[in-house]
Amino acid sequence: MIEASTIADDVRARRVTATEIVERYLMALDTDDHGLGAVTRILHDRARHDAGRVDAAIAAGRDPGPLAGVPYGVKDLFDVAGLPTTAGSSIYADATPALADAEAIRRLGDAGAILIATLNMDEFAYGFATINARHGTTRNPHDLDRLAGGSSGGSAAIVAAGMLPFALGSDTNGSIRVPASLTGLYGLKPTHGDLPMAGVFPFAESFDDIGPFTTSIADMRCIWSVLHGVVATESERRSFKVAQLGGRFPQNADPDQLAALTMIAPGAAILDLPDIARARSAAFLITAYEGGNLHRAALSRTAMAFDPATRDRLLAGTLIPRALYDAAQAFRHTFKVMVTDLVARYDVLLAPATPCVAPLVSDPRILIDGVLKPARSDLGIHTQPISFTGLPSLSVPMRRPGRLPLGLQLIGRPNGESTLFAFAAMLEAQGLIGTSPPPDYRGIET
């Protein structure tokens, strides 16, 4: 799997041109996205124009940036100049085109990256499955009979398949970390509000964030730095104070995840966060209320045009009383203060990212507390309470060659991304985490 940093190094050293790189990726996407159902639009003209701009900068002796010539894709809720921002919905397929790129796309472009595709998602980002009425279901490149997770499933699947070096998604309650876990990638939910949301179609403002999917921690660090505007330094630190989250986290986890957590941090303190089930319930309520009210006008005009699975949940959100929403927000404030105080004693908290491997497309259910539950709503059981706190959380892939992927969450202090990257780099160097290509990997070679 070719890393973004390798492509950028080769382009800047003139071993290959950005145009050559882009043409290889365009050809692969045009020919076949491996039956993934991951791509919604391929941006041929734009990609070729931007590749030419990078090549011209290099020919003139200018450094086009740390992501020079690297193709990437974005979840289909980022503004792309000249295209309607659909948020995965037929309702906005013919909307007025965006006048400018989302701020995140602008920053990546300034760093030399080349936008090449928009990617599939759950309609309006409301789900953990990427089952989309307009664009179909995104499938997992490790087993096409299984889901890729969601709602940023297209972004995860296309990177895991080796068809793009990185992609952007959004994460409200786990929509980056869940598909990262199920497809075997690194996926970041940053400290809430730290990465630019301008030009991103909202879902629930209380929790919405953007973040990258990558195949290495070095790429994650680089792309986060570009988006954040602050360089994440590479630390040689080898000592970290680590704790594991207890309670419902180990109760709903794969045995391999529990073994990996013990191997990573033997003898680590176990923290049982109080009211964790209540926190998840409050997160559900806040999400439903904010999502329902965001779409209230459209629901009143064209309710039947919504994906039925999305429509019913949004309609339910419009019925939640404001007093109940305010009570959930008040509890959230108290819970955040308590958890932030706990986290202050540690560099990293460890938890499973998803409770299981990717469920089957034909039977999208998972076992939670011994009961089969819909994957679309319950794959985020471990990520949703962390979103509730606004803390940064990095999903990292366990080493599982030949088996379906599974991820762990590394959770940090507020603005603690650099520490999470340093800890993950140490684990990656020790061989405890890292990406593995799918069984029939056919990614791009440079």
**Tokens 């996205």 correspond to what residue?**
33
Q: Which helix (H) or strand (E) holds 271?
A: strand 269-271
Burial class of residue 440, CB neighbours in 10 A (0-12, 13-18, 19+): exposed
pLDDT tens, position by position, for the chain (446 residues)? Answer: 899 999 999 999 999 999 999 999 999 999 876 689 999 999 999 999 999 999 999 999 999 999 999 999 999 999 999 999 999 999 999 999 999 999 999 999 999 999 999 999 999 999 999 999 999 999 999 999 999 999 999 999 999 999 999 999 999 999 999 999 999 999 999 999 999 999 999 999 999 999 999 999 999 999 999 999 987 666 666 789 999 999 999 999 999 999 999 999 999 999 998 899 999 999 999 999 999 999 999 999 999 999 998 999 999 999 999 999 999 999 999 999 999 998 899 999 999 999 999 999 999 999 999 999 999 999 999 999 999 999 999 999 999 988 999 999 999 999 999 999 999 999 999 999 999 999 877 667 65
pLDDT value at position 231?
73
Cα gap 244→250, rounded to integer Å: 9
pTM for the full model?
A: 0.97
Cα gap 236→238, rounded to integer Å: 6
Other Cβ atoms less than 10 A from the Cβ of 217: the count is 24
Would you mind telling me the total number of residues written for the chain in this entry?
A: 446
pLDDT value at position 54?
98
Cα gap 62→68, rounded to integer Å: 11
161 SS3 class: coil
Q: Are 144 and 153 in contact (CB under 8 A)?
A: no
Ordered alpha helix ranges (H), 239-303: 248-251, 255-264, 276-294, 296-302
Q: With CA atoms as reference, report the closest residue to 404 among 213, 254, 184, 160.
A: 184
pLDDT value at position 1?
83
Give the domain ranges of the chain.
4-429
Catalytic residues: 75, 151, 175
Which CATH entry fits the domain spanning 4-429: 3.90.1300.10, 3.40.50.10860, 3.40.50.300, 3.20.20.70? 3.90.1300.10
- What are 248's two structure tokens? 């419902």
